[in-house]
Amino acid sequence: MPVVDVINLDGETVGQVELSDEVFAARVNPHLLHETARHYLNARRAGTHKTKPKGEVSGAGRKLWRQKGTGRARIGSIRSPLWRKGGTVHGPVPRSYDYVVPRQMHAGALRSALSAKLADQKLTVVEGWTLESHRSKLFREQLTKLDDASQTMLLVDTGENVNLERASRNLHGVTLVATTALEPYELLRHERLLLSRPAAEKLSRSLRVNKSGDAAAAPVQIEAAPAAPEAAHAKPAHKPAKPHAKKAAPKAHKAHKAAAKPKKTAKPKGKKE
């Protein structure tokens, strides 16, 4: 694990902290950095551009002259896009440029950016942002003790710090963000990264690939179900035919009914006198 010195606001070394290899010593992926930076800039776009189509510009809707016989080009409306002060065809409309980036890509880009800062020796861990005053002038003097050469600094802290927020918001090139709002674009845009000790420890825990532990968990072995006996699944080769009792009964009933019913005999016709 990389070991980084911890300094106080006076620039004195007060201890050391161990950072996670998976977060601060990962392989830098330029593609992830490009994609997350592009997503961040697109999400910040207002998207309020608007032009008026033919139905929104001023002007009557009547036909200016008849279709034929005048010698002029046919025209249907004074609001036509072909005319001056007419409507715009396929113009921009208000929309959002934001799109979804998977969480794994965002976390991988953060690991790449943090690893690049540590490899370039532009990462500093501060013991804590405990300020006695919210004056920007005093805070600028303390930042100069930490690093005098950098023009832009990104300060990262965990909790709410009113004095730090008020002292840093008026300084040019200094940006304060929380660990939950850290973006790869901000890490690339600022030259120096200043992390508090709690922020560095929190990032080491939250951005690890395997959060349960350093060693990957063993995969669960699923045993196959025991095979059932063949006799239980064997199907009979031939099904016995079911007697058609319902169909045979009506025939027997009809035959019995026909035998019991006497036949009619024809009567002799009477002779005419």
As given in the structure block, the two tokens for residue 167 are 């002292």
Number of structural domains the chain divides into: 1
Parallel, antiparallel, or unpaired for β 123-126 and 3-7?
parallel
User: What is the pLDDT confidence band of residue 211, given thresholds at 50, 70 and 90?
Assistant: low
Q: Is residue 72 part of a domain?
A: no
- 4 in helix, strand or coil? strand
What pLDDT sits at residue 11?
Answer: 84
CATH number of the domain where residue 26 is located: 3.40.1370.10
Question: What does the pLDDT read at residue 228?
Answer: 54
159 part of a folded domain? yes
Please answer whether residues 174 and 155 qualify as being in contact, where contact means their C-beta atoms are separated by less than 8 angstroms.
yes
Residue 167 within a domain? yes
The residue segments making up the domain with residue 194 are 3-47+97-206
Summarize the confidence of residues 139-162 as an average pLDDT.
87
- The SS3 of residue 129 is coil
**Domain-embedded: residue 66:** no
140 falls within a domain: yes
Indicate whether 138 belongs to any domain: yes
Q: Does residue 242 form part of some domain? A: no
**Does residue 245 sit within a domain?**
no
The reported pLDDT for the residue numbered 213 is 43
Q: How many helices (H) and strands (E) does the chain have?
A: 9, 6
pTM: 0.68
User: Over the stretch 104-142, which tens digit does the pLDDT of each residue have?
Assistant: 999 999 999 999 999 999 999 999 888 888 999 999 988
The number of angstroms, rounded, from the C-alpha of 30 to the middle of its chain's C-alpha atoms is: 20
